[in-house]
Structure 1
Amino acid sequence: MGELTFLKELYPLYEDAVKKARVRMDNLIKPLGSLGTLEEMAIRLSGITGKLHNEVNKKAIVIMCSDNGVCEEGVASAPQIVTLTQTINFLRGITGVAVLSKHNRCDLKVVDIGVKEDITISGLITKKIRKGTWNSAKGEAMTREEALKAIHIGFDLVRELKEEGYNLIGTGEMGIGNTTTSSSVLLALTGCSIDEGVGRGAGLKDEQFFHKKEVIKKILQVNKPVKEDPIDVLHKVGGFDIAGMVGLYLGAAYYRIPIVVDGFISAVAALAAYKINPLTKDFMFPSHISKEKGYNRAINEIGLDPILNLGMRLGEGSGCPLAFNIIEAATVIMNNMATFEEGDVDIENYKDLWKEEAK
């Protein structure tokens, strides 16, 4: 992976901070481990930042928007123009992720990384590599250089967000046909079966679904992506949106900012980032269990446990603002709960009993 020179400067969690955070968490006035996953979140946040006390006071969801040439094969239930329409609607504030973000006081960063049409609208971050990828059923979706460029775009956006004071990032995407590209990447990276890794996307009927699976088989046969080289996989069968999100995950690990994984497509991007450098896992927080087939395989490959199970499968980053609330709650526990000593609670025998029950 010499093409991504920053990978040499990715480091694991700060172990000293993790140890201090665990000691404090275990001494808060509660039975040992009684706040479950919230405790582990707070401890991991300390390992990410190196600080015992952390705040989540500036949050952003980055939505990578791009078109996919494979739509020529009729793999999507929606027309390709919807990519353009929804990219604009994110900035109008009327999509699922937009209304949830507003409700949860987090910002949207909408990125045109490869939409087919030119867009002029206030607030759009224009990083267009090209007007959509090529049709991966006929050959590579993009060049290796373009895949690397997309990764660097995501990486650099994390740097800009950190400079602007953001301390929690979410991932989102928009691109008609991107469940086909994501499934292709998943199958190439894991070797899982078509039935395990390919879902109906935005509601394909049986005949369309069969056709989609046949197209994905063709994509893999035509391109022969190299499983051991995630960049090869991305440039041959992926999308600009997926590669851009890979850059977000790598950037979050480099700049030490917690990053939230949304649904299937962002989970596949997370898997690709993990395959590039396994240290990225420590910085990822999966928001919810997606109903889209293949999600569980991607998340299980990384070894992560989603926070919520709400039957969602919208994508866009819609699970991120909900997960932000939970992560913020974890910081409140670490910051505001008292230890036994701080709370003047002298119940050593009872405290020992709690610890015994927790074993």
Structure 2
Amino acid sequence: MSAEFSTLAAFQSLLAQAPGVDQQAMGEAEARNGQLTKPPGALGRLEDMAIWYAGWRGNPRPSIKAPQVIIFAGNHGVTAQGVSAFPAEVTEQMVLNFQHGGAAINQLSRAAGADLDVIALDLDTPTADFTQGPAMSEAEVVAALQAGWSAVKEGTDLLVVGEMGIGNTTSGAAISHALFGGTSEDWVGRGTGVDDAGLANKARVVREGVAANGTPKGLEALRCLGGRELAGMVGAIARARSLRIPVILDGFIASAAAATLADAQDGALDHVISGHVSAEAAHGAVLARLGKEPILSLNMRLGEGSGAAVAINILKAAVVCHSGMATFAEAGVTDG
């Protein structure tokens, strides 16, 4: 499916026109949940997740049969500022590892029964150093959004998006700082493992980058401070909404990218649930700003969609209980 927009303004317009949850299906799912052979609320958050999923799929008794994981990769010009413990060429090397099936996300996708797609976005052309001005032109960010939009398969019934890009925790921190305020130190973390001096350098870079771009908001924050892989994730999340496909959000970078959608359009992430809170210092703060309670907290900090992929099986468990359990009437069990 080719993208239906060619400018940021047109993409913004699509966000405003995106469909909402199916209230009838959600109501019927809530009613079914109240009749299942268990005490009320006995499955805790699993019940809420199943009802949420049913509402977005428009089916009060849904199933998850075709999850899709998409990993976007991009390179960042801001790595010239020494913000990562790894060189930029690691991005391409890890893409090859994904393609050959050797990364954690390959194993986790397989365990979740999910199709995995890997999309490298102009790795030979890093974004601009955002301490000097915008990371991307409008044409560049739109191209990455289009790649994300087009990567979502129409038969998908659950989506996870992840990323690979040396330097992108700095990008995520800069976006968070621009959108949510505070100091740059509030949003930077050790990423791939920088030392104390490296952490201070990241804070400087984030502070200078946000200032150089005039504290951009919404989709402009994505363009000015993001990367192609962040924009790819945003495009895919938006496409999922247009198809009423629920999304499990991954870690800090994916959450920062998604935050630009929430800032651009109220309710743009209503079809999104947080898969986990990572060990990256500011992830929990971003999730709190987005009003997303994570499913898991496993001290993960890998990125590449890994935490969200683990959460696929939790959501599957929620949905299979909701749809597969007998009601009191069906089971011949006395209710209360």
Under a length normalisation based on structure 2, what TM-score does the superposition of the two structures give? 0.94
Number of equivalent positions: 328
Between the aligned partners of 2:312 and 2:256, the Cα distance in structure 1 is 20
Q: 1:1-359 residue pairs with structure 2 within 5 A?
A: 2-4=9-11, 5-116=13-124, 131-158=125-152, 161-162=153-154, 165-227=155-217, 230-347=218-335, 351=336
Larger radius of gyration: 1
**Contact 1:144 / 1:232 at 8 angstroms: preserved in 2?**
no
Question: Partner residue of 1:126?
Answer: none
Using structure 1 for the length normalisation, give the TM-score.
0.88
| Secondary structure of 2:273 counterpart | strand
Q: Determine the C-alpha separation between the residues in 2 that align with 1:177 and 1:245.
A: 16
Instruction: Specify every segment of 5 or more residues in structure 2 that has no aligned partner in the other structure, as ranges.
Output: 1-7
Paired residues of 1:66 and 1:83 also in contact (CA < 8 A): yes
Alignment partners' CA distance in 2, 1:91 and 1:103: 17
Shift of 1:250: 1.0
Q: Is the 8 A contact 1:259 1:284 kept in 2?
A: yes
Separation in 2, partners of 1:192, 1:57 = 42
Q: What residue identity is the alignment partner of 2:161?
A: T
Matched to 1:142, the amino acid is M
Q: 1:319 is paired with a residue of what secondary structure?
A: helix
Specify the SS of the correspondent of 1:304. Answer: coil
Distance 1:325 1:280 in 2: 24
Q: Which residue type is aligned with residue 137 of structure 2?
A: T
Residues in 2 aligned to 1:281 and 1:215: alpha-carbon distance in whole angstroms: 29
| 2:127 partner letter | T
Structure 1: segments with no counterpart, 5+ residues: 117-130, 352-359
Q: Secondary structure at the match of 1:212?
A: helix
Structure 1 residue 213: deviation in Å? 0.9
Shift of 1:261: 0.7
Q: Secondary structure at the match of 2:306?
A: coil
Percentage of pairs with the same residue: 34
The one-letter code matched in structure 2 to 1:341 is A
Contact 1:170 1:317 in 2 (8 A): yes
SS in 1 for 2:10: coil
Cα deviation digits, residues 208-243 of structure 1 (max 9, x gap): 11111111111112111333xx12111111111111
In structure 2, the residue matched to 1:122 is none
